[in-house]
Structure 1
Amino acid sequence: MQENAKRVMPAEWEKQRLVLISFPHEETDWYNVDNPVALEESLSPFIRIAQAIAYGEAVYIICKDKEKISNMFCSTRNMTFIEIPTNDTWIRDYGYISLKEDDEVKLLDFTFDGWGGKFEATLDNAVNKTLYTKGYLGITPLEQVNFVLEGGSIESDGKGTILTTSECLCNPNRNSGLSKKEIEEKLHTHLGAQRVLWLDHGYLAGDDTDSHIDTLARFVNQTTIMYIKCDDTEDEHYPALLKMEAQLQGFTTTEGKPYTLIPLPMCEAKYNDTGERLPATYANFLITNDALIYPTYNDKNDARVGELFKEVFPDKEIIPINCLKLIEQGGSLHCSTMQVVY
């Protein structure tokens, strides 16, 4: 890093060059030997997400068999299919994190260890280097960082503020459980963070990420945060999300003013075939150049959430995509994508 270089992690709503997405295949957990058709069914939301992104910008699709996957699309406009081995599909957490250094774009390749060693991730951790070596990112500089950090664990307002959770970043299963102060120093060094807003409460049952911020609370502009709110006092999430809301209410912008807070409803409980609750969340939306793409779950709140997004993003196309298949594997729409900025 250049001495005295000014670094900042762009906000998601800034101009994007492309979005990365990684498709399921027979060597991922998406494959069920007792029900091979399930893999084909799982491809449906990935296809729809890629189509929604390609509406306004380029999509790089990481896959095992590019001929097979490309033939599943009616149109491949704005799509590039790239064969790279992967363990799983959650490229939000192992894809490049975009950085601007003195207004020049740089790509950061942090270490990905399968959410604290829960899953094999050697192939996923190598995707960024492989993609770069193949030349798909041109001459954009790449910096490899020997520090565990997942894209879904951090939110940036594009002006030096990072929003995150202590449950994830300070977890002993990542970076040996560094303190908040030590983590803040890392975020300052690598991402140019001027301050870090820590959420100490909030979780989703069935989530393997140790409370990623993109399942709970999201910046939608520099003064506004959308977050998950639980109104059902009988729901197991109610106490923790109530504490999270109170903490959000205490946060202030860099100008010292309270954030505008927009609650997103909690989904009705969704379960898999063995009765385990799944991490359904409306906070896992994606902001692209021309659209706001959000997950739906065959839930009574799906349409209501769409109306909320229309109010917050009046100049964008609001695109709902059914993500029930995604949460069966522990993630959702935002987890499946990673943007690269100009």
Structure 2
Amino acid sequence: MTATSVRFPAEWEPQSAILIAWPHAGTDWADRLGEVEETYIALVQAITRFQPVVICVADDDIETYAEMRLRSNRVDMARVRFVTVAYDDTWLRDSGPITLRDGAGFRLLDFRFTAWGGKFEAGRDDLLVETLAAQGLFRNATRQRIDFALEGGGIETDGAGTLLTTWRCLHERHPDATREQLSAQLAVWLHQDRVLWLEHGALEGDDTDAHIDTLARFAPGNAIVFQACDDATDSHHADLKAMADEIAALRTRDGRPYTLFPLPWAKPVIDEGRRLAASYANFLIVNGAVLMPAYGDPADAAAAAVLAQAFPGREIVPVPCRPLIWQNGSLHCITMQLPEGLV
């Protein structure tokens, strides 16, 4: 990688906290709020076993309620910090800060958040990073506003200068830009010197236009964990097989194939006639563990075994995420890691 004092760290590097936003009746979770709250409680329980969590709340009443629910579930509140901020919804992977290490400090990249190409209202979410920075949440950090639509779930880095993304997502956001133009812009803003593109891979029930974090993720040691589909009768089979072939053809910086870890395929989850995106690739890495989305499917155990191979030495902790996929996202989508020293 080109020598520079600015670097985009991998998710498995040391973290200071995970940033989330508590669901409430003013978000899209309103119709199933009770179920989703249970997932958030389980998530906070899992995170605080390993590190702190910063929870965005919309007002004092929601903070009081969230604290009560967490305390009643024996969460270690010494590792919980609340911050009050307005938000439209809770997908902080996409509205939260993309953090680069900048010398001894940090650079918060604040890309324009358009709710996945203007699909939903996102005015408050687009101000989230600016508001949190103005409140002093982040230490030794400067915010860089970038007038370019990009979501954190749409990019994946190995921490050593290689970015992985999907053409479908970036082309949908920027239809007039060429692949070369997009590669050059991403490389400059994210301080990467290689951008790898996947042409294939999309999940029914995913409204992000094929975010990479539902499909393929880097792991330490030049490895890629990806969502496979071994059911030849499933509508996803051909496209995910084509994606698997693309990933197998990718090469590391020194020209070698990546070590590959295919994840098992959960049985179709149908909700009111709609197929939901139950991807095991939407896991979250924290200090000492990998939090894995669990769907109450027999494949949950097999997915945990694959992740244990890909991340040796880390505990694999299932978090029940079936309620989340009703709103087209999962575990990684509702979280954003904050590198060690940022908060």
**For 2:54 and 2:316, how far apart are their aligned partners in 1?**
22
Letter of the 1:87 partner, please give it: D
**For 2:259 and 2:309, how far apart are their aligned partners in 1?**
14
Deviations along 1:160-219, one digit per CA (max 9) or x if unpaired, are 100000000111xx2354211111111111111101110000100010000000000000
**Corresponding residue of 1:46:** 40
Deviation at 1:5, TM superposition (A): 5.1
Letter of the 1:322 partner, please give it: P
| Superposed counterparts of 1:91-240, under 5 Å | 91-102=92-103, 104-171=105-172, 174-240=173-239
Decide which of 278, 281, 306 is 2:279's aligned counterpart. Answer: 281
Deviations along 1:238-285, one digit per CA (max 9) or x if unpaired, are 111111011111100001100011100111100112x11001000000
Deviation at 1:223, TM superposition (A): 0.7
**For 2:209 and 2:159, how far apart are their aligned partners in 1?**
24
Deviation at 1:77, TM superposition (A): 2.4
Kindly tell me the number of residue pairs found equivalent between the two proteins: 331
Letter of the 2:207 partner, please give it: D
Contact 1:21–1:50 (CA under 8 A) maintained in structure 2: no
**For 1:18 and 1:83, how far apart are their aligned partners in 2?**
17
Letter of the 1:186 partner, please give it: Q
Deviation at 1:39, TM superposition (A): 1.0
Paired residue secondary structure (1:188): helix
Larger CA deviation: 142-151 vs 208-217? 142-151
Deviations along 1:104-138, one digit per CA (max 9) or x if unpaired, are 42211111000000011111111111111111113
**Corresponding residue of 1:303:** 301
Paired residue secondary structure (1:99): strand
**Corresponding residue of 1:336:** 334
Letter of the 2:199 partner, please give it: D
| Superposed counterparts of 1:79-94, under 5 Å | 79-94=80-95
Larger CA deviation: 262-271 vs 47-56? 47-56
Deviation at 1:40, TM superposition (A): 2.1
Decide whether aligned partners of structure 1 residues 226 and 103 sit closer, same or farther in structure 2, where only a CA change above 3 A counts: farther
Letter of the 1:280 partner, please give it: A
Unaligned runs of 5+ in 2: none
Letter of the 1:68 partner, please give it: Y
Paired residue secondary structure (2:303): helix
TM-score with structure 1 setting the length: 0.94
Unaligned runs of 5+ in 1: 33-37
Contact 1:152–1:212 (CA under 8 A) maintained in structure 2: yes
Paired residue secondary structure (1:85): coil
Paired residue secondary structure (1:72): helix
Contact 2:48–2:80 (CA under 8 A) maintained in structure 1: yes
Paired residue secondary structure (1:219): strand
Contact 2:187–2:195 (CA under 8 A) maintained in structure 1: no
Paired residue secondary structure (1:137): coil
Contact 2:261–2:310 (CA under 8 A) maintained in structure 1: no
Letter of the 1:8 partner, please give it: R
Decide which of 46, 51, 66 is 2:63's aligned counterpart. Answer: 66
Contact 2:112–2:149 (CA under 8 A) maintained in structure 1: yes
Paired residue secondary structure (1:71): helix
**For 2:221 and 2:146, how far apart are their aligned partners in 1?**
27
Paired residue secondary structure (1:209): coil
**Corresponding residue of 1:35:** none
Larger CA deviation: 255-264 vs 141-150? 141-150
TM-score with structure 2 setting the length: 0.93
Paired residue secondary structure (1:92): helix
Contact 2:215–2:226 (CA under 8 A) maintained in structure 1: yes
**For 1:326 and 1:141, how far apart are their aligned partners in 2?**
32
Contact 1:219–1:226 (CA under 8 A) maintained in structure 2: yes
Identity of aligned residues (%): 41
**Corresponding residue of 2:30:** 31
**For 2:107 and 2:157, how far apart are their aligned partners in 1?**
16
Decide which of 317, 320, 323 is 2:318's aligned counterpart. Answer: 320
Deviation at 1:50, TM superposition (A): 1.6
Letter of the 2:283 partner, please give it: F
Greater helix share, structure number:
2
Deviation at 1:41, TM superposition (A): 2.1
**For 1:240 and 1:333, how far apart are their aligned partners in 2?**
23
Deviation at 1:222, TM superposition (A): 4.2
Contact 1:6–1:192 (CA under 8 A) maintained in structure 2: no
Deviation at 1:307, TM superposition (A): 1.7
**For 2:176 and 2:168, how far apart are their aligned partners in 1?**
10
